[in-house]
Amino acid sequence: MIFREKSTAILSRSNGSFNHSTQNPKKRNFVWEYAKSIEAKDHIHLKPSYDLFIGGKNVKSKKYFETINPATEEKLAEVAVASKSDVHRAVLAAEKAYNRVWSKTSPKERAKYIFRIARIMQEKAREFAVIESMDGGKPIKESKLIDIPLAIAHFFYYAGWADKLNLAFPNVNISPIGVVGQIIPWNFPLLMAAWKIAPALACGNTVVIKSAETTPLTLYKLAEVIKEASLPDGVVNIISGAGDTGEAIVNHPKVKKIAFTGSTEVGKLIMKSTAGTDKKITLELGGKAANIIFEDAPIDQAVEGIINGIYFNQGHVCCAGSRLYVQESIKNEVVKKLKHRLKSLRVGNPLDKNTDVGAINSKMQLKKITELVNSGINEGCTLYQPECSLPDKGYWFKPTFFTNVAQANRIAQEEIFGPVLSVLTFRTPKEAIEKANNTQYGLSAGIWSDKGSKIFKMVSSIKAGVIWSNTFNKFNPASPFGGYKESGFGREGGKQGLKEYLNFN
């Protein structure tokens, strides 16, 4: 790594640490230049075409679509579109597996299978990470350090619960639900699959899961792992396709439970179409989280938390801290530090280990982000973007924040799902609570303060499913995750996540 100030290299790496001795602290006009460190791709195995994975077999479909790398616009593979009759076939395979095998498999044996899936995933972790970054555009350091290890951790965690369900829910009769339908989004493909498949299997259900349009590949890799783990055929069926494939899963009469993560709009459609049926549903939908910084907070850590809260995974995060509420007395300091920090974010090739902000997942999402950012400009908010060059090909958006934002502005109300932060202010804790709760969503929030009592007061007054204090975007398989209001209902993760996959009678 080289540190340059006005094109003169003055800092070099020695003994693994950075030597700042020659740095002039008064001069702020510097840039960090990193030698490229591109993750190797030669160890990954991608097929030119992926069929559906139904009943333990690869099943051809009538139609295929392309999945591309959003950082290069290059085609990665063709992927099957599951028609209504393919969905039917997958549901029947799951029903057969449930009746004949999985409902008769002892909890201890179920645990072994889930554990085995986790172990094989670990062996292939690097391959999973590279494919996740290629298919979806996320920085390799995130897929390697967060997405894939967390997905694996969910399988390990729920393997542990499989034979302890009676301890989790004592003195009640519990039973599996049967065939469950699961529909996931494109922002954390493998992780969302793990959140859904692992507890479903631990509780004794069988699964039909659909990946999202732009990111089907790691799920088909997972199908290979499932095969290798010798999970009985049909216990997990993996399919791909767009909204109508999802709709066919939702409307299938033999599907007894729907677990959905995605937009609030589709969540509402699912509510409507399952009304009047006995299907159980859990919905994990959008968010517009408040990240609240008090004047007594450790400011530098808070700035890191703000950055992680909104620029992690290009802001394609339902629990992203997209509304920053900063106490008025420290607003100028925080904004100054944010500007400085944004200049050092590296935007570009997702496979470069130095990259902080990767590619926007799709052309459609880029269009949506651009439209909402333009609305912010038109409504009179002040835009800040650092100077940085973006690659010629692919879908990119500079890390962005807005100041002079009013509560009523669209960028303070709507989920942008991109690297765009709205900065707002407050004076008192009461005002912060009112403003934080002034949203249709209620998924997550962050509170930064040195005072524990203040944090507890805020936590009990903010209507959000997950509230982080003095940190942000931390996940653990043992912690339940889910929302209030239009962010959905039901919890995934932890003991609470098991409840959603069981009947109580």
| Residue positions annotated with a catalytic role | 284, 318
Which segment (128-136, 165-173, 205-213, 437-445) binds Mg ion by CB under 5 A? 128-136
Beta strands 444-448; 290-293: pairing state: parallel
Which segment (30-38, 41-49, 265-273, 336-344) binds ligand NAI by CB under 6 A? 265-273
Q: Are 162 and 488 in contact (CB under 8 A)?
A: no
449 part of the interface to ligand NAI, by CB under 6 A: no
Residue of the chain from 127, 132, 213, 500 that contacts ligand NAI (CB under 6 A): 213
189 part of the interface to ligand NAI, by CB under 6 A: no
Which segment (55-63, 123-131, 216-224, 264-272) binds ligand NAI by CB under 6 A? 264-272
10 part of the interface to ligand NAI, by CB under 6 A: no
If DSSP states are collapsed to H, E and C, what string results for 338-357?
Answer: HHHHHHCCCECCCCECCCCE
243 part of the interface to ligand NAI, by CB under 6 A: yes
Q: How far is the CB of 248 from ligand NAI (least distance, A)?
A: 8
Alpha-carbon span 14 to 11, nearest angstrom: 9
**Residues 60-119 contacting Mg ion, CB under 5 A:** 67
Alpha-carbon span 190 to 132, nearest angstrom: 8
Measure CA of the first residue to CA of the last residue in the chain; give whole Å.
Answer: 62
Partner that binds at residue 266, options Mg ion, ligand NAI, none, CB closer than 5 to 8 Å by kind: ligand NAI
**Which amino acid is located at 318 in the chain?**
C
The number of C-alpha atoms within 13 Å of 320 and in the hemisphere containing its C-beta is 25
x/- contact string, 289-328, with ligand NAI (CB under 6 A)?
-----------------------------x----------
Q: Are 486 and 413 in contact (CB under 8 A)?
A: no
Q: Are 201 and 179 in contact (CB under 8 A)?
A: no
Q: Are 223 and 124 in contact (CB under 8 A)?
A: no
Q: Are 191 and 151 in contact (CB under 8 A)?
A: yes
**Residues 19-78 contacting ligand NAI, CB under 6 A:** none
Rounded to 5 degrees, what are φ and ψ at 434?
-60, -45
Q: How far is the CB of 429 from ligand NAI (least distance, A)?
A: 28
Nearest to 155 by CA among 124, 126, 196: 196
Nearest to 206 by CA among 175, 252, 237: 237
Residue of the chain from 70, 136, 185, 399 that contacts ligand NAI (CB under 6 A): 185
Which segment (115-123, 257-265, 322-330, 371-379) binds ligand NAI by CB under 6 A? 257-265
**Residues 341-400 contacting ligand NAI, CB under 6 A:** 365, 368
Nearest to 306 by CA among 295, 318, 290: 290
Partner that binds at residue 51, options Mg ion, ligand NAI, none, CB closer than 5 to 8 Å by kind: none
Q: How far is the CB of 484 from Mg ion (least distance, A)?
A: 32
Rounded to 5 degrees, what are φ and ψ at 501?
-110, 20
Judged by the rule CB under 6 A, the positions of this chain that interact with ligand NAI are: 183-187, 210, 212-213, 242-243, 246-247, 250, 261-263, 266, 269-270, 285-286, 318, 365, 368, 415, 417
Judged by the rule CB under 5 A, the positions of this chain that interact with Mg ion are: 67, 135, 214
